[in-house]
C-alpha cells in the first residue's frame, strides 16, 4: 500500500493482465522459498506506528502533508486521513535488547514530530481511536489527497455498490451508514514485524493466530468511539465494517472479507497464505510494475501490491532484500498508551508465537479454527474481562475460561519464545513484567479510558468529559510511565 499509484480508471484488460501476473508470481514464490539460502539471514524485528495529529484544543488537525514537509524524512509517511501519519521504525536484531531499541526510537520519533509540529501548532497522540473524534471527521474532506487513497476509496465503494454500514454493539452502541472509506482512518495501530524462517513459518503463524486473543486483551486501547464506550478494542469491528465491500448474492453467500482473522490453520508453508489471497480476492490496484522477474530473488511487486490490499490481522510478507525472507506482520495491536507499553505488547505477542511453535499441533488439534476466531472477537470486545474457549486437561472439549488465566499461562511461554530468539534475560523480565503488572491490576488503555470517562461524566457533558480524559491521557503518554502505573482517578 505504500507504493505510489496514479489515479486512473482501470479497464477489463488491466484486471486480466494483473490477475495473470499475480498467479504467475505466486507460482514463482513457491519455488523461491525453497531455495537453500532463502530466509536464513539473522532474525530481525521491525514496527510501524500510526499516530493522530491534534490541534491546541485537542481535536484532530488535518495537517499531515504539511508536517511531513517539515519533518522531511522517509521514515515518516502519510496515512489515509489528513489527521494521521505513520512512523516506520528501523529493523533491529531480535537477539539482545530489541524492545528497548524500539522503545528508544519511538520516543525519538515522537519528539521529532513534537518539535516539527510546534511550527504549525500540532502535537502527536498514540491511541487506538481518538475519544474526541466526531462523525464529520470521517468524511472525504479529511482524506489525504494522495492518488492511492482515492483509488482505494473508489474501488471499494464500487465493489460494494452502496454505503458501508457501521453497527457496533457494546455498552453504548454506535450505528450509522457512510459512503466514505475514511472511517477506516479512525483506527491507528502499532504493527510489528517478525522475520521467520520458511521451515518454521506455519507453526509460528498458527501460534500467533491462536494467541492473538491474549495479546489483544492485555493491549486493548480503543474503548471510546464517537464519544461512546464501545468495544475495548473497537478497531477490530470498525476496521472490518469500514471497508467491507461484500454484498450477499441471491443465495445469501458473500465473498470473504478483506479484513479477516483468516480462513483456517496454515498446513505446511507460508505459500498457502499468498495463494489464498490471489485466489480469493479481486484486485483493487491492477497496476503492472516493471521489474526483472527473472532475478534469483525477484521483487514480485504485483503480488506484494495485491497482498497489501487485504488486511488480515496477521499478514504474511515476502521480501527480496538480502537473501530474501518471509515475515509475519502482527497487525492487531493498537497504538499507545506509551512507548514502553507498545514494546511490551510486541514482546508478549512475539514471545508467545515463537514459544508455542513446537507445541502448536497439540493445541490446534483441540481448538478448531472457528473457536480461535471466536476467542479473538471476545477479546476485542471485553479485553481482560473476556472469557474464551480453551482446552483443559481430561476434558472432551474446550471450555469457557477467564482470559486472564490463559494470559498468566502464556507469560512463561512468551519468556521461552524470547529466550529462543536470544533476547537478553533482563530485557525479557523488563517487558513481560509490564504485561504481568497490567494483568494483576486488571488494567489496560481501554479500561483506563472508560473508567476515567465514566467518572468525568458525572461532572461534565459527554464531549467535555471525553476531552478532559484525553488531555490526561496525553500528559501521561508524554511522561512515559506504563499505563499500569497511571492514576485510576481523575
Residues 6+ away with beta carbon under 8 Å from 300 = 25, 28, 29, 293, 318, 320
**Best CA proximity match to 93, nearest among 16, 194, 172, 171:** 194
> Average pLDDT of 159-166?
76
Three cell numbers, residue 59: 481535536
Contact (Cβ atoms closer than 8 angstroms) between residue 289 and residue 266: no
Phi, psi (5° rounding) for residue 196?
-135, 135
- Domain positions in the chain are 12-485
Bridge-partner residues for 401, per DSSP?
Answer: 388
Give the tens place of pLDDT for each residue, 67-125: 999 999 999 999 999 999 999 999 999 999 999 999 999 999 999 999 999 999 999 99
- 165 or 331: whose pLDDT is higher? 331
Q: At 1, is the pLDDT very low, low, confident or very high (cuts 50, 70, 90)?
A: very low
Give the tens place of pLDDT for each residue, 229-270: 999 999 999 988 876 655 555 555 557 888 999 999 999 999
Bridge-partner residues for 316, per DSSP?
Answer: 328
Residue 248 has what pLDDT? 53
Dihedral (Cα; 264, 269, 270, 275), 10-degree rounding:
-70
Give the tens place of pLDDT for each residue, 208-239: 999 999 999 999 999 999 999 999 999 999 98
Give the tens place of pLDDT for each residue, 472-488: 999 999 999 999 999 98
Distance CA 64, CA 44 (A): 29
Distance CA 386, CA 213 (A): 10
- Which class would CATH give 12-485? alpha beta
Neighbours of 338 (CB within 10 A): 25
Bridge-partner residues for 27, per DSSP?
Answer: none
Number of alpha carbons in the 13 Å side-chain half-sphere of residue 44: 16
Q: At 3, is the pLDDT very low, low, confident or very high (cuts 50, 70, 90)?
A: low
Give the tens place of pLDDT for each residue, 314-324: 999 999 998 99
**Best CA proximity match to 487, nearest among 451, 458, 456, 457:** 451
Three cell numbers, residue 198: 520458511
Residue 86 has what pLDDT? 98
| β-strand pairing of 259-260 with 311-312 | parallel
Residue 327 has what pLDDT? 98
Give the tens place of pLDDT for each residue, 323-356: 999 999 999 999 999 999 999 999 999 999 999 9
> Average pLDDT of 29-52?
96
Contact (Cβ atoms closer than 8 angstroms) between residue 332 and residue 218: no
Quote the crossing angle between the two packed helices 201-219 and 403-420, to the nearest 10°. 130
Helix, strand, coil percentages, rounded to 5, for the chain: 50, 15, 35
Three cell numbers, residue 257: 472479507
Residue 409 has what pLDDT? 97
Residue 163 has what pLDDT? 79
Distance CA 270, CA 196 (A): 10
Contact (Cβ atoms closer than 8 angstroms) between residue 321 and residue 44: no
Give the tens place of pLDDT for each residue, 386-426: 999 999 887 778 899 999 999 999 999 999 999 999 999 99
Distance CA 274, CA 307 (A): 7
Distance CA 409, CA 206 (A): 18
Q: Is the peptide bond before 337 cis (omega within 30 degrees of 0)?
A: yes
**Best CA proximity match to 54, nearest among 75, 80, 84:** 84
Distance CA 146, CA 433 (A): 42
What CA–CA distances, in Å, run from 109 to 68, 71, 76, 481?
A: 12, 10, 9, 18
pLDDT value at 2 more than 60: no
Give the tens place of pLDDT for each residue, 363-377: 999 999 999 999 999
Contact (Cβ atoms closer than 8 angstroms) between residue 47 and residue 89: yes
Q: At 165, is the pLDDT very low, low, confident or very high (cuts 50, 70, 90)?
A: confident
Residue 422 has what pLDDT? 98
Mean pLDDT lowest among 25-39, 146-160, 447-461: 146-160
The DSSP annotation for 406-452 comes to: HHHHHHHHHHHHHHHTTB-HHHHHHHHHHHHHHHHHT--HHHHHHHH
Give the tens place of pLDDT for each residue, 172-185: 999 998 878 889 88
Amino acid at each position: 500500500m505504500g507504493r505510489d499509484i496514479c489515479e486512473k480508471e482501470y479497464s477489463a484488460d488491466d484486471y486480466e493482465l494483473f490477475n495473470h501476473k499475480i498467479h504467475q508470481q505466486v507460482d514463482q514464490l513457491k519455488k523461491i522459498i525453497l531455495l537453500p539460502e532463502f530466509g536464513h539471514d539473522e532474525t530481525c524485528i521491525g514496527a510501524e506506528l500510526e499516530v493522530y495529529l491534534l490541534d491546541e484544543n485537542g481535536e484532530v488537525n488535518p495537517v499531515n502533508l504539511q508536517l511531513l514537509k517539515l519533518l522531511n524524512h522517509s521514515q515518516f509517511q502519510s496515512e489515509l486521513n489528513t489527521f494521521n501519519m505513520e512512523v516506520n521504525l528501523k529493523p533491529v536484531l531480535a537477539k539482545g535488547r530489541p524492545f528497548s531499541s524500539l522503545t528508544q526510537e519511538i520516543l525519538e520519533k515522537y519528539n521529532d514530530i513534537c518539535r516539527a509540529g510546534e511550527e504549525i501548532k500540532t502535537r502527536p497522540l498514540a491511541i487506538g481511536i481518538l475519544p474526541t473524534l466526531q462523525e464529520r471527521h470521517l468524511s472525504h474532506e479529511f482524506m489525504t489527497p494522495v492518488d492511492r487513497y482515492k483509488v482505494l476509496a473508489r474501488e471499494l465503494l464500487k465493489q460494494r455498490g452502496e454505503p458501508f454500514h457501521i453497527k457496533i454493539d457494546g455498552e453504548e452502541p454506535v450505528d450509522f451508514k457512510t459512503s466514505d472509506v475514511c472511517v477506516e482512518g479512525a483506527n491507528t495501530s502499532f504493527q510489528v514485524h517478525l522475520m521467520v524462517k520458511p521451515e518454521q513459518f506455519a507453526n509460528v503463524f498458527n501460534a500467533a493466530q491462536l494467541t492473538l486473543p491474549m495479546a489483544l486483551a492485555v493491549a486493548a486501547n480503543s474503548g471510546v468511539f464517537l464519544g461512546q464506550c464501545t468495544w475495548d478494542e473497537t478497531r477490530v469491528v470498525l476496521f472490518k465494517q469500514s471497508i467491507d465491500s461484500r454484498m450477499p448474492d441471491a443465495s445469501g453467500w458473500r465473498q470473504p472479507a478483506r479484513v479477516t482473522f483468516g480462513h483456517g490453520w496454515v498446513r505446511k508453508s507460508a505459500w498457502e497464505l499468498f495463494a489464498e489471497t490471489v485466489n480469493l480476492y479481486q484486485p483493487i490496484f491492477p497496476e503492472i510494475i516493471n521489474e526483472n522477474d527473472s532475478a534469483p530473488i525477484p521483487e514480485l511487486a504485483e503480488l506484494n501490491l495485491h497482498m497489501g490490499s487485504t488486511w488480515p490481522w496477521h499478514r504474511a510478507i515476502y521480501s527480496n532484500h538480502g537473501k530474501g525472507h518471509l515475515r509475519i506482520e502482527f497487525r492487531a495491536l493498537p497504538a499507545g498508551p506509551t512507548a514502553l507499553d507498545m514494546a511490551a505488547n510486541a514482546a508478549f505477542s512475539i514471545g508467545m508465537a515463537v514459544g508455542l511453535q513446537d507445541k502448536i499441533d497439540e493445541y490446534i488439534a483441540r481448538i478448531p479454527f472457528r473457536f480461535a476466531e471466536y476467542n479473538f472477537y471476545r477479546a476485542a470486545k471485553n479485553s481482560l474481562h473476556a472469557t474464551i474457549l480453551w482446552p483443559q486437561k481430561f476434558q472432551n472439549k474446550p471450555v469457557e475460561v477467564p482470559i486472564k488465566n490463559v494470559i498468566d499461562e502464556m507469560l512463561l511461554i512468551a519468556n521461552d519464545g524470547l529466550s529462543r530468539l536470544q533476547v537478553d534475560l533482563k530485557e525479557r523480565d523488563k517487558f513481560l513484567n509490564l504485561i504481568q503488572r497490567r494483568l494483576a491490576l486488571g488494567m489496560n488503555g481501554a479500561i483506563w479510558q472508560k473508567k476515567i470517562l465514566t467518572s468525568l461524566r458525572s461532572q461534565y457533558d459527554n464531549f467535555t468529559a471525553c476531552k478532559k480524559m484525553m488531555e490526561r491521557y496525553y500528559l501521561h503518554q508524554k511522561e512515559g510511565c506504563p499505563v499500569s502505573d497511571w492514576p485510576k482517578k481523575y
